[in-house]
């Protein structure tokens, strides 16, 4: 199912004109580990130590579409990387990702989470500065 979603995103990105800014933003439930072999599209500023299947699909999608995962391009304190806290309050994840095309990566100045934006939710708001 997730592969179909990335395929649909790929079709939409491919159809858009090259000069347009392309930003894909959402909850992909993807853990993108600290990938050193994919620089500059991926950097070492990920919260996750290991990637999951969706993280692998995200890497494949981003690499194939010449896009960068902007959520992990910026060095942040770990509290600003946390996007979701589990109900047991012991584990946190960085599953919401912002992906932008490589030509416009510098248009995104900063990406970080805002803890406490909604007190009832385990999800944190993500703030993207363009």
Q: Is the model's pLDDT at 1 over the cut of 60?
A: no
Q: Whole-angstrom Cα distance, residue 100 to residue 84? A: 21
Q: What is the pLDDT of residues 53-66, one digit of tens each?
A: 888 888 888 888 88
- Are the C-beta atoms of residues 32 and 63 closer than 8 Å to each other? no
Q: What is the pLDDT of residues 47-104, one digit of tens each?
A: 667 778 888 888 888 888 888 887 777 777 776 666 767 777 677 777 677 888 888 8
Q: Whole-angstrom Cα distance, residue 12 to residue 99? A: 14
Q: Whole-angstrom Cα distance, residue 93 to residue 123? A: 10
Where do the structural domains in the chain lie, given as residue ranges?
2-16+23-129
Q: Whole-angstrom Cα distance, residue 34 to residue 29? A: 16
- What is the predicted pLDDT for the residue at 44? 65
Q: Whole-angstrom Cα distance, residue 46 to residue 35? A: 9
- What is the predicted pLDDT for the residue at 13? 84
Q: Whole-angstrom Cα distance, residue 128 to residue 65? A: 21
Q: Whole-angstrom Cα distance, residue 55 to residue 46? A: 11
Residue (of 1, 24, 27) closest to 11 by Cα position: 24
């Amino acid at each position: 199912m997730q592969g179909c979603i990335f395929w649909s995103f790929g079709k939409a990105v491919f159809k858009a004109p090259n000069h347009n800014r392309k930003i894909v933003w959402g909850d992909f439930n993807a853990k993108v580990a600290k990938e050193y072999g994919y620089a500059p599209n991926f950097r070492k500023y990920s919260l996750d130590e290991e990637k999951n299947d969706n993280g692998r699909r995200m890497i494949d999608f981003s690499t194939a579409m010449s896009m960068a995962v902007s959520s992990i391009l910026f060095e942040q304190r770990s509290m600003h990387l946390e996007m979701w806290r589990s109900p047991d309050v012991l584990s946190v994840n960085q599953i919401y990702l912002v992906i932008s095309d490589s030509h416009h990566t510098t248009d995104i100045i900063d990406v970080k989470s805002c803890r406490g934006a909604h007190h009832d939710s385990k999800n944190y708001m993500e703030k993207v500065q363009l």
